[in-house]
Structure 1
């Protein structure tokens, strides 16, 4: 399968479609609600989904995002990204090294990397990454992270000095996403605040508006 033309990461909320949050709702349904609310990038994170079901979900979510003009990235799973024709991957501390992800994906897809500060952002750039997720920005219960909370002041310093676009990760919610945008961040990753909302699509619309308002002075 040929790689799609490489895209820049869209600015704004970066929505995660996670199989551990709202687990009774199918991943494709969650992704559809995120996209319906205006999500321009969806990261599909599947830690509990069996391999065959994960591949099927990756293909369906990738197609759904493409029809809506949104990007679909796979968390960690370079193999699924390739098989599904997704737009790229995001790798973390214990995942495939970014150099290996780039080698497998080639130049046509996005590679994002989770880092903890400026040194990590520079290393990610040298490894061929397109953007970095920096955090944890705030305390979060969605994922256990063995790293100290950065806070907005330290995060803003990373944003200022990073050679790559920065996405804030960890504990981002509607009430604080505007503050993340005000640091000059390229994006802000949101998981539970969107997926556990009474109306997922409406919450995404609110997150998009809040990010745009917060970054208006950037």
Structure 2
């Protein structure tokens, strides 16, 4: 590995910072013997890259938990401002600037299942309760909290819209990001229920039943934006009915 990096790519690697991570369900142990010079590189199960937590299961759950924890900390830092006597509309604007921007960092690439969605929605209600100074002993349901603050799950809607925007942009252009999105992995599916896929998540958001249908829709910016907005509107209607 040392000769390949230096001769072919002319790269100098910092051995103390270099880590190896294998994203696979099958733990073969082949990565344990990778050496750089005279040192064996350390194999890790997760690491932080550009503020996002990447894990060896190639999922988004740990990154979502990490982002929500950091956003919760950001809320507590601005607690005096967000729970002050300022007008509620002003405090909601501060919430989106100081807290939601932290929570949604890198969310365009998340693959979110129902459990992760509940976790994200719970965080939004957590923020609303503290802004309104509602204690858990008051026994006020989440629907009433959202009515008092005048919100309708906007954090989840904004997160979905960001993911749809990125997918449409990638599908309209050719490059390595498009190759990653459309590429396939060799091998067979493992036994058990298959995991949620990123492309299937976007297909559901824009109302497409097949990937080719979604790709053709993405070529038209206006049609893609309309499908995306219709999906958000449908989700809001479902929340109101519930």
TM-score, with structure 2 as normaliser: 0.26
* More contact order relative to length (CA 8 Å, sep ≥ 6): 1
Larger radius of gyration, structure 1 or 2?
2
Q: Considering fraction of residues, name the structure with more strand.
A: 1
TM-score, with structure 1 as normaliser: 0.28
